[in-house]
Structure 1
Amino acid sequence: MPKTYTVTEYDKDDIEALDSMSKSDVIETLEHIKRGWLPQDYVCSPRDYETYNESQYDTTKLHIAMRKAITMLENIKDEED
């Protein structure tokens, strides 16, 4: 019996667009982190003409959300000081 699979691929533009993630997207993404564990298969520097699988995209989104959350918290701390 044949099986059909859907494969989602992301490119450099998709990865770079994560830097413009909204605060609500950051919060929603961070809520999925269990026990503070972050997978390590993330894209540090997306390259032209290279595609990334869904796992790499989701992991990269987690890492970027964490960086953005840290920046937001640092800004709040600076305002309170």
Structure 2
Amino acid sequence: MSTLFDCVSLQCWENLFETPAPYLHETEVREFYYKMELLDDGGIRTTVKEVKIYLNEESLGIILGVLSEGIGSIKG
């Protein structure tokens, strides 16, 4: 059975598991998820501290510093 780390390394996302972990701002994270809308184009829209946020595969790849090509083609 593959581990989560094995699965994300297929997309070259190993850096997401490096330490030190980023600081977690719990209030903002809760607001992010509470207000999040899933969009038909596969993106998400939300608001945090009155800042409107739109994220899709490409923008998430840029922010996280990982490859975003091929995400939609992964099955299972």
Shared topology, TM-score over 0.5? no
TM-score bracket relative to the smaller structure: under 0.3
Task: Return the structure number with greater relative CO, CA threshold 8 A, min gap 6.
Answer: 1
Pick the structure with more helix per residue.
1
Pick the structure with more strand per residue.
2
Rg larger in structure: 1
Task: Provide the TM-score with structure 2 as the length reference.
Answer: 0.24
